[in-house]
Chain A
């Protein structure tokens, strides 16, 4: 079983490296944003597999934390790309 989970972990890490190619090459900023969001999602899978391999349930909270952080980062970056600022100042405009 351990060999199976190790192979799965290696595949997930290779997928993250493949996404780094898109982050490096991507022609526009939203390309890099999409690839970084997918890297965050795959980091969740990698930590889930690591918690099976280390045989401990204490890594599970990290999964929820990374999911929340990745969503906040995605929302703030896309708002910055769209409007040029993250937190609106003032009620007029």
Chain B
């Protein structure tokens, strides 16, 4: 189970929202479940992450380069969501909600 570098703290959470709450510009009275990834990723560090951390600390990297550390992100997305808006037009949104999370 689990995606790349699955961190113990990084988990899938969900909240019940109105479609309008998404802030994507849709006006609809319909509702949905939004799932997202959240939590720390410290325990799932690879050698790559450790090296980057050491290099940054020891100022061995070019001064303006600050590569990102592992992040808790979706590794798979939920099924598409369709809804009818207040003007009776259908919309379908893709990759809007997480299904699996991982430290990547």
**Does B associate with A?**
no
Interface residues of B (CB under 8 A from A): none
